[in-house]
Amino acid sequence: MRLGIVGLPNVGKSTLFNSLTKAGASAENFPFCTIDPNVGVVNVPDSRVDTLGEMYHSKKVTHAVIEFVDIAGLVKGASKGEGLGNQFLANIRETDAIVHVVRCFEDSNVVHVDGSVDPLRDIETIELELIFADLEVIEKRIAKVGKSARIDKSYAAEASLLEKLKALLEDGKSVKTYVPEDEEEEKLLKGLSLLTAKPVIYAANVAEEELAEDGAGNPFLKSVREYAAAEGSEVFTICAKIEAELSDLEDEDRKAFLEDLGLKESGLDKLVRASYSLLGLISFLTCGEDESRAWTIKKGTKAPQAAGKIHTDFERGFIKAEVIAYDELIANGSMNAAKEKGLVRMEGKDYVVGDGDVVLFRFNV
């Protein structure tokens, strides 16, 4: 899963990125790695994988991972070359979703680029810049496809779609409001990798004293939640300052710090939950002496396709899947004990894999 982080300057965007990537790294499993200066890879927190690793004395424990892509803060006029952000917009075109960090706190020591705190205005500023960036892509594509369509009629469907998207963007609307007319349009739309077609998760950056109450009573946060609900987006609250402090602590100290603050989970935990919910993702698990691992799939994925996440041969030669729910496996202490009680099921090609399923795939190639 790849998430692109956007926001105005001074909203806590880079602080969040730096703290999430540092806190989420695990030196022995999947160390934080900087692929380039603004990309970080972190483990998805999942205690189930760690427990299975201990149960099986696994040589290796591998969590699912998230790749975060951070770009310079966008400002009004970015699409026309203002600021630095527009230079990096191409970096987030291949992400699965956009995390939009929005400032929902007052602090005279932290200057707002527009002089005052107004999250809805900030959201509109960023969305307009993304719309302008998409419009530029569409117009370039129209110029190219238009010439091809005059010679080859197979380009007619794309040319038609591009004109519809252009009109939509010129009307100030995002591409995700467009409903494809058929599967061909849906495929063409996906291939364009437009920024405003991506799902959005709003990270509402609130003051430290408001975090334990999840921002209750914060009028800025209330407006963001209402806005997100209207467009079907997710919202979670963070305090970038606290996340930065958490990132410097060891696991046990981090848990104690969260408890002292009256918090049940970190910003990374909240972000993972919001992104999995928005993108319709779940995790299934595999375990053994060599490795215990979490695998991310879409809800509704059938067993052969889930097996294909591990290796294409598994999908091609799929025979059956031995399945048990994680909670049942832990309650019985071992796979053998669960088998003796008849709790391990044999599932075929039509089985839809569920979140937390512990699976052993049988295949023959």
Q: Is the pLDDT of residue 76 over 90?
A: no
Percent of the chain with pLDDT over 90: 54
Please state the φ and ψ torsions of residue 90, each to the nearest 5 degrees. -60, -25
- Find the mean pLDDT for residues 101-110: 82
Which residues, 6+ apart, have CB-to-CB distance to 227 below 8 Å?
Answer: 120, 123, 202
Q: Is the pLDDT of residue 168 over 50?
A: yes
Confidence of residue 26 (pLDDT cuts 50, 70, 90): very low
Which residues, 6+ apart, have CB-to-CB distance to 67 below 8 Å?
Answer: 1, 2, 3, 35, 39, 40, 41
Yes or no: say if 167 and 208 are a contact pair by the CB < 8 Å rule: no
Q: Summarize pLDDT for 302-327 with one digit per residue, the tens.
A: 999 999 999 999 999 999 999 999 99
CB neighbours of residue 29 within 10 Å? 15
Q: Is the pTM of this model over 0.85?
A: no
> What is the structure's pLDDT at 215?
79
Alpha carbon distances (Å) from 213 to 206, 239, 244? 11, 12, 19
Q: Summarize pLDDT for 227-283 with one digit per residue, the tens.
A: 999 999 999 999 888 888 888 888 788 889 988 988 888 888 888 888 999 999 999
